[in-house]
Amino acid sequence: MSGVVLRRGSPSPGESDLDEWLGAAKALARRAGRMQLEGHSGADDGCSKFTIDEKSVVDLVTSVDKACEALIFETLKEKYAHHKFIGEESAAEVELGDDLTWCVDPVDGTSNYVHNFPAFCVSIGLFYEKKPILGVIFDPSKDEMYEAVRGRGAFCNGERLRVDSADTLPKAVVATNFGHTRDEDFVDSQIRGLRRLCDESIRGVRMIGSCCISMALVAKGVLSCYYEANVGGLWDVAAGAIIIEEAGGVIANVRTGAPYTFEAGKQHVCCGNEKIVAQVLRVLRDETNE
């Protein structure tokens, strides 16, 4: 079915199409993951084998980011020439439409990667009619492949995933990040939100430094919830969203509390098990509305 084109109003992708696309995404995620590990291995004098550019002091891109995205996109474009493509390092300006659209974060958690902190990954999602229909997140440090296809459930290395069952904040571990902005108002708002969660006796707060890893851990039931405003773009949430939903979780807009809609630009996400997401949104929106 290589090169299949589906337009709005066409039948939904068939099972064989989804099988093929999932297999292609998983294979490419593994290849890109190996490239990431190789960037830190076998280098002379323990030095890393990649170059670093600074978009800003806290927003980095490496030669590995670019090489991984080139590998993934070039391979997919050769097989599926009529599909659309959105990536962090290229084609980031493409608007999400109704066509089949691959959305790739070649190295999520680049700052972690630069510092060899083992929380970085490859994320590949596929949209159809502006909704994710499949996604994979590969964590090469742990050799963990998270995957989901709409209607089939979510899995990690073949094991079925379910979000956790925490029903109150004192039973919940929640993740967030400060992200790439150091804008004073944004940082202050984040700190006030954390303060409010602590006032509610939340069991734990974690900052992992990778949106995709955080979402994968929510689907796995390790975290009850993950929230963050001003996340880089669709590539950060494309795969994680469907993996969480197929694991029984929900995803909402952290600023409005509304169900999530996938649009270009910064992402404002709150995801996890339904009860904890509702409580986190209440606490955070109380702070926002003051």
Residues 195-235 have pLDDT tens digits of 999 999 999 999 999 999 999 999 999 999 999 999 989 99
pLDDT in tens, 252-287: 999 999 999 999 899 999 999 999 999 999 999 875
What are the tens digits of pLDDT across the range 55-80?
Answer: 655 556 788 989 999 999 999 999 99
Q: Which of 125, 137, 129, 96 is nearest to 219 (CA)?
A: 137
Rg of the chain over all Cα atoms, to the nearest angstrom: 18
Residue 40 has a pLDDT of 83
pLDDT digit string, tens, across residues 152-198: 999 999 999 999 999 999 999 999 998 777 778 888 888 999 999 99
Interatomic CA distance for residues 221 and 215, integer angstroms:
10
Share of the chain above pLDDT 70, in %: 87
Q: How confident is the model at residue 131 (pLDDT cuts 50, 70, 90)?
A: very high
Query: How many Cα atoms are found within 13 Å in the side-chain-facing hemisphere of 190?
Result: 20
Q: Read off the pLDDT of each residue in 14-33 and give the average, rounded to a whole number.
A: 96
Under 8 Å between Cβ of 174 and 193: no
- Nearest C-alpha neighbor of 32 from the set 78, 73, 81: 73
Q: What is the mean pLDDT of the chain?
A: 89
pLDDT higher than 70, residue 48: no
Q: Where are the alpha helices (DSSP H) in the chain?
A: 15-38, 63-79, 110-114, 184-199, 211-220, 234-246, 274-288
Q: What is the pLDDT at residue 42?
A: 53
Half-sphere exposure of 161 (CA within 13 A, CB side): 34
Q: For residue 174, what pLDDT is reported? A: 98
**What integer pLDDT is reported at residue 279 of this predicted model?**
97
In the prediction, which pLDDT does 287 show? 58
- Domains, the chain, in order of start with CATH, read 15-160 (3.30.540.10), 169-288 (3.40.190.80)
Flag whether pLDDT at 94 surpasses 80: no
pLDDT at 187: 86
Please report how the helices 63-79 and 15-38 are oriented relative to each other, as an axis angle in degrees rounded to 10.
160
